[in-house]
């Protein structure tokens, strides 16, 4: 995001933000960041999200505040953590066959987590995207391909400039079959990258919906956020 010189963060401030591991939280509707950043419309260097004819829904598995998850008849659920959930959700919303998505917190040990509590590194939760999909139109294996292609699974607790356990790579599974497929995909990725893959693979626990302003963030803002590591940046080629 471009800022005028007076509004630019000092080098020391940038170091402090990196140490905290928590992004400022602009409201994509109002376009003003909580910490005085320039409006989102000023980010002329950020690519716009491609238009969609029909956007997926926003209620996967009837998600709520840690409540039981249940897909609609004929659909299935998947959940992934791959860094900043703004960009992660937008990635899966571009996949044909995805019926609905939402972002939230999962994998931790506290109830009713909030964005700021997750950023404190005391909850164990990851920023996650919950996906409801139609298996007749897109396979779980395909969703795993998208997952591994659009983040760096070799950097533990980090994606690009975002540092902290909430940015870890994880697959939260809903069945033994999903767990087996995830392990196989991780092994293939590790062989291809010739580096250890740090992706956590574990059964899905409770999913806590994130605050409203995080939901479908990129669509509301009209731009893509949370840049991917350079070698994973071409999401359009998926």
Which has the closest alpha carbon to 89: 172, 135, 146? Answer: 146
Catalytic entry in 22, 84, 119, 226: 84
Question: Bridge-partner residues for 171, per DSSP?
Answer: 80, 201
End-to-end Cα, the chain, rounded Å: 26
Q: Which one-letter DSSP state was computed for residue 4?
A: -
The C-alpha atoms of residue 81 and residue 155 are separated, in whole angstroms, by 13
The strand pair at 169-173 and 162-163 is best described as unpaired
What the block records as the tokens of 75 is 């659909």
**Phi-psi category of residue 96: left, alpha or beta, with phi > 0 → left and psi -120 to 50 → alpha:** beta
CA-CA distance, 142 to 207, in Å (whole number)? 22
Instruction: Determine whether 84 is an active site residue.
Output: yes
Q: Among all residues, which ones are annotated catalytic?
A: 84
């Amino acid at each position: 995001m471009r800022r005028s010189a007076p509004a630019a963060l000092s080098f020391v401030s940038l170091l402090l933000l990196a140490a905290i591991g928590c992004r400022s939280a602009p409201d994509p509707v109002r376009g003003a960041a909580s910490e005085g950043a320039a409006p989102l419309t000023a980010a002329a260097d950020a690519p716009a999200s491609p238009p969609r004819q029909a956007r997926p829904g926003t209620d996967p598995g009837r998600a709520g505040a840690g409540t039981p998850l249940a897909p609609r008849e004929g659909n299935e659920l998947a959940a992934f953590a791959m860094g900043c959930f703004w960009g992660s959700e937008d990635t899966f919303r571009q996949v044909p066959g995805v019926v609905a998505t939402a972002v939230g917190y999962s994998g931790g040990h506290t109830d009713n987590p909030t964005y700021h509590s997750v950023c404190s590194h005391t909850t164990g939760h990851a920023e996650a995207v919950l996906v409801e999909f139609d298996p007749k139109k897109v396979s779980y294996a395909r969703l795993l391909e998208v997952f591994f292609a659009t983040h760096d699974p070799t950097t533990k607790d980090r994606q690009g400039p975002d540092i902290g356990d909430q940015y870890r790579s994880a697959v939260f599974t809903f069945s033994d079959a999903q767990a087996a497929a995830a392990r196989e995909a991780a092994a293939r990725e590790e062989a291809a990258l010739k580096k250890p893959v740090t992706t956590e693979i574990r059964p899905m626990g409770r999913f806590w919906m994130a605050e409203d302003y995080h939901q479908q963030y990129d669509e509301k803002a009209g731009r893509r956020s949370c840049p991917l590591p350079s070698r994973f940046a071409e999401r359009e080629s998926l």
